[in-house]
Amino acid sequence: MPHKKQEEVLTVPGEANIGCPGPDNPAAGRTEVCSGCPNQTTCASLPHSGVDADMTAIRRRLEKIKHKILILSGKGGVGKSTFAAQLAFGLSARGMDVGLLDVDICGPSAPVLFGKEGHEVHRSNSGWSPVYVSDNLAVMSVGFLLNNSDDAVIWRGPRKSGLIKQFLKDTEWGPIDFLIVDTPPGTSDEHLSMVQYMKDTGVDGALIITTPQEVAMADVRKELNFCSKVGIPVLGVVENMSGLSLPFGSDLVSFSSGADGSDVTGVVRDVFAAHFMPAAPRNDANRKYLCPRLSIHVDVFPATRGGAAFMCEQAGANFLGRIPLDPSIAWASEQGRSLFHTQLETSATDANDEVNFSPTTTAVNMILNRTIELLETQNRCPQV
C-alpha cells in the first residue's frame, strides 16, 4: 500500500494583504481581500478539500465560550497585559467563569501576573489543561511551557502561528463565560493568526489599551485601522497610566524643600492634620488615616494632543475611561494578586491598605462595568 503523503502545513505569507484568509482556506486567492496580492495566483491554484480540519477543531473547542475579547495595543509598554490580567480577575470576582490566553509568544507575562510561575500545563489525549488560578479562572501561556522562565523564545512567524493554533485547538477551557486573549503589541503575525483562526468563532470585539502621550497614540490609531480592515469590532479604548495617583497618607509619598531636598514630610502632614483634621492625634502612626480618600495626582505623561478621549471622538470609538499610574497595581501584579479582593493575604500591611483604597480599583471596576454594558446592549451578555 502506498504511503499517504503528509499534509503540508501552510501559513500566511509575510507579504500577504491584511485580512488574508490563509493559503489553506478554500477561499484563498478567490476573495476580494486577495485582490492585488502577489500570491493570489498561487493560492487560487492550490488544491483544497473544502474543509479545514484545524479550523473545525477550533470552532468546536471554542463553541461553549460565551464571549471572546481581544486585548490589543499598537504600542508596547502601555500596560496591556496588566490590564488584561486585572480584567480577568475582575470578571472572575463577579462569579464569571473566565479564561485568559496569553499569545505574546516572545514576552509571556501571565505566569507572573497570576502568581503561577513554575506551574506546568498538563497534557492528555483530550488536550491541554490550562493552569487554574482559582475555581473559575484559568490561564494558558507559552510561559508555562518553558523549561526556564528566562529562556528567550526566538521563533519566526510560522512557528508562532502554529503554537497559537495549537493553543486554540487543544486547550480545554470547557463551558466558560469569557475568554480574554492578551496579544503582543503591534499588528504582527500573531494578530493575523488570531483573526484567521477565530473569525468564525464569534469574537465579540477588542479592547484597545493606550497611554496619553502622542508617541503611543500614533501607534494606537494604526491598531484601530487594523481592526477596521480585518473586521474586528472595537468595544472601546482604555487610557492607561493616566497620571500618577497616590493616597495622601501613602508611605510612598514624601515632601522635600530647598535645593538640598530636605525632607519636610512630617511638617507637611502635621500642617494638614492641624487644618483639616484638628481632632486627629498628630503622630506618625495616624498619618495613614488622614482623609484616606484624598489623593495626589501628577500628569506624568501629558495628553498634549487630547489623549485617548479626543482620539475616540475623532475615530467614532467608545472611550471607556482612564486608569491612573498607581503603585498599588504594580504591587498587586508583582504578587500575582487581584485588585478586587478586599482582604489580601499578605504581611505587607501598608501595600494592602493602599490596594484597598486605590483609585485604580475604582477605575478598572468602572471600565469593567462599561464593557459589560456594551455587551448587554448587543444582547450577548447576561445581566450581572
Which H or E element spans position 71? strand 67-72
Please, which residues have CB within 8 angstroms of residue 383's CB and are 6 or more apart in sequence? 376
Tell me what pLDDT residue 49 has. Answer: 52
Place of cell 491554484: 45
Tell me what pLDDT residue 378 has. Answer: 73
Please compute the mean of the pLDDT values over residues 71-100 and round it to a whole number: 93
Please compute the mean of the pLDDT values over residues 134-142 and round it to a whole number: 95
In tens, the pLDDT along 306-319 reads 889 999 999 999 99
In tens, the pLDDT along 3-31 reads 443 333 445 555 677 777 776 676 777 77
What is 123-156 written as a DSSP string? EETTEEEPEEEETTEEEEEGGGT-SSTT------
In tens, the pLDDT along 207-251 reads 999 999 988 989 999 999 999 988 899 999 999 999 887 777 777
Tell me what pLDDT residue 281 has. Answer: 53
Q: Which cell is 214 given?
A: 502622542
**In what side-by-side order are the strands of the sheet with 234-239?**
131-134, 137-141, 98-102, 178-182, 67-72, 205-210, 234-239, 319-322
Query: pTM for the whole thing?
Result: 0.76
